[in-house]
Amino acid sequence: MKKLLLSGFTLVSLLSCKDNEAPKTYYTGSATRAILDNMLTRRSIRKYTDQQVSQEQIDTIMKSAIFAPSALNKQPWEIRVIQNPKILAEINQRFLNFAEGKEMQGSAAKYKEPGFSIFHHAPTLIVMAIDKSNPTAKLDAGISLQNILLSAHALNLGTCPLGSLVTALNLPENEDILKLLNIPEGYEVGINIALGYPAENPKAPIRYSEKVKIIK
Ligand SMILES: Cc1cc2nc3c(=O)[nH]c(=O)nc-3n(C[C@H](O)[C@H](O)[C@H](O)COP(=O)(O)O)c2cc1C
């Protein structure tokens, strides 16, 4: 075993390994702290600057997305990263058409306000479609979603999952949008994600620790 001291507290071990094994990576000290902090400090961001996310940042985030575990390694998702302003405006309009006259929940409830954006005016929208025939697709997509949220946060970018847009995009009248995005037959939208540079720094909403019980 070869040990490499990378920084003050970060010890990465590079094992000389067999052909079918990857080198083992250990995290210690400030690296461990950073990974744990990343989970605790990620927030849903609902205000973005106009600055667009770079191709390099997208590549890093998408690599994290597809490295999520999935049952039987089926990877039952199709992910589209949309930065085209015309397509973004059209998706927002389709949501407004769907919401018209309805009582919506959460931030979607404000859809009647002028200039409303269901993706909070983020310059990038990620649409994650899932294989309808795969029984674990929603769970698998949820894990990939979290990888997207956490990797973006690690790059100091902001994200917000957008469940409110799912029903609207899956309506038969919006099939043309899925076609435009090259979503294959047999797939439906599972979740959407707003992505961009954050223009707010919200506090964490309350968490319920009593929902966890340790049984010994
Ligand atoms: C599956 C899912 C769907 C969500 N849908 C929306 C949404 O449509 N609009 C929105 O503003 N936030 C949405 N959120 C964000 C939640 O409101 C947020 O995660 C929760 O309030 C906790 O806050 P935090 O993400 O800052 O920790 C969604 C979150 C998840 C996990």
Query: Which residue, judged by its Cα, is nearest atom 9 of ligand 1?
Result: 162
pLDDT at 11: 46
**pLDDT higher than 50, residue 119:** yes
In tens, the pLDDT along 63-102 reads 999 999 999 999 999 999 999 999 999 999 999 999 999 9
In tens, the pLDDT along 47-72 reads 999 999 999 999 999 999 999 999 99
H or E segment and range at residue 125: strand 124-131
Mutation probe of ligand 1 site: the residue of 40, 45, 162, 211 with most atoms within 8 A of C-beta: 162
In tens, the pLDDT along 127-173 reads 999 999 999 999 999 999 999 999 999 999 999 999 999 999 999 99
Please answer whether residues 112 and 87 qualify as being in contact, where contact means their C-beta atoms are separated by less than 8 angstroms. Answer: no
Q: Alpha-carbon distance 142 to 193, whole Å?
A: 11
Single out the residue of 62, 71, 44 nearest to residue 139, CA to CA: 71
**DSSP summary character for residue 112:** T
Phi-psi label, residue 194: left if phi above 0, alpha if psi -120 to 50, beta otherwise:
beta
Ligand 1 site: residues with CB under 6 angstroms?
A: 43-44, 46, 106-108, 160-164, 191, 204-205
Beta bridge partners of 77: 130
Q: What is the mean pLDDT of the chain?
A: 94
Atom of ligand 1 nearest to the CA of 46: 11
Domains defined along the chain, listed by start: 1-41 (no CATH), 44-201 (3.40.109.10)
